[in-house]
Amino acid sequence: MVIRILTLLLCFWASVARAQVSVVDGVGNQVVLKSPAKRVVTLAPHLTEHLFAIGAGTTIVGTVDYSDFPAEANQIPRVGGYSGWDLERITALKPDLILAWYSGNPNNQLEQLKKLGVPIFFDHAKVLKDIPTVMKKLGVLTGQEANATQLANHFSSQLLQLTNRYQLAKKVRVFYQVWQKPLMTINDLQIISDAIRLCGGVNVFGSAPSLVPTIDEEAVIFKKPELIATSGGEEANVLDRWKKWSVIPAVANHHLEVLPKDILVRLGPRMLAGTESMCQAIERARK
């Protein structure tokens, strides 16, 4: 009888262990769920893209403004945007997991979020090779481990191919324009700079002290970039301001590149395509 009870207990605990899932998030926190998440709130557009890409899009019950890819994401209820969220609305959705962007969401709201008592996974990807790691962890948390692993391995493989292709190429000086009013760029700690480096480019403002510094036109002229690139914007003439400065090599040689919108600025699966588009732009400037 004792043996039978012990056997039943072992089977019970084994089934519990199989159901429970656990990962370490981007800031070192252990995220433990009793079972794969069924109701998820995503607090950044790229996290929404991640879940759809790995086959877990139907688990999303709430998201933020600009979560517009794929098209199905437009139908998900909104709980806020980059400037903050409605915590009561998040609570009402009864999520069993919240996905947050550690460096992109407001710090004060992240602290409030922790008080809800819902497990939170913080994405803190800093370089391109972090993205497939995030994919795999989200796959574990949503029960889509096989799909996520396959997608992550493809991402890593394509990234390696790009690295091998451009690592010995001639360096090209790049100015990446984040915003034009005010004029803003990025330093070397921002993940887009990692894409520029992989493609054989050099971010001319890489040593700037802040992640997204505000600069002026004179600073860009002084840096003499060979390529001026941006990821688009609401205005069609987003780079036209530079055409009057023929002393800039990028302008003199007609290397003003508007890259496809969103795919390089969101830290999700499409950043691979965004990196490829950056490499192609740099290669055109190189030639």
d(CA 28, CA 231): 31
Q: Quick one: what percent of the chain has pLDDT higher than 90?
A: 82
115 secondary structure, DSSP code: T
Strands (E) located in 68-208: 80-81, 84-85, 97-101, 120-123, 172-177, 179-180, 183-184, 201-203
Q: Do residues 149 and 232 both lie within one domain?
A: no
In a domain, 160, yes or no: no
Same domain, 28 and 146: yes
Instruction: Give per-residue pLDDT as tens, 114-149.
Output: 889 999 999 999 999 999 999 999 999 999 999 999
* pTM for the whole structure: 0.89
Name residues whose C-beta falls within 8 Å of residue 46's C-beta, 6 or more positions apart in sequence: 101, 123, 266, 267, 268, 271
Tracing tokens 């890489």 back to the chain, one arrives at 206
245: in domain: yes
Percent of the chain that is helix, strand, coil (3-state, to 5): 45, 15, 40
> Could you tell me whether strands 80-81 and 60-62 are parallel, antiparallel, or unpaired per DSSP bridges?
unpaired
Lowest mean pLDDT among 7-11, 30-34, 217-221, 249-253: 7-11
Between 193 and 5, the more confident residue is 193
Q: Which of 123, 155, 187 is the last residue of a domain?
A: 155
Let me know if residue 5 belongs to a domain.
no
The whole-number pLDDT of residue 105 equals 80
Count how many domains the chain has.
2
pLDDT digits 0-9 by tens, 168-194: 999 999 999 999 889 999 999 999 999
208 pLDDT above the threshold of 90: yes
Which of 88-92, 137-141, 230-234 is least confident? 230-234
Q: Is residue 13 part of a domain?
A: no
Confidence of residue 10 (pLDDT cuts 50, 70, 90): very low
Among the candidates 155, 181, 200, a domain finishes at 155
Both 177 and 151 in one domain: the answer is: no
Domain that holds residue 144: 20-155
Secondary structure of 254-271 in the HEC alphabet?
Answer: CCEEECCCCCCCCCCCCH
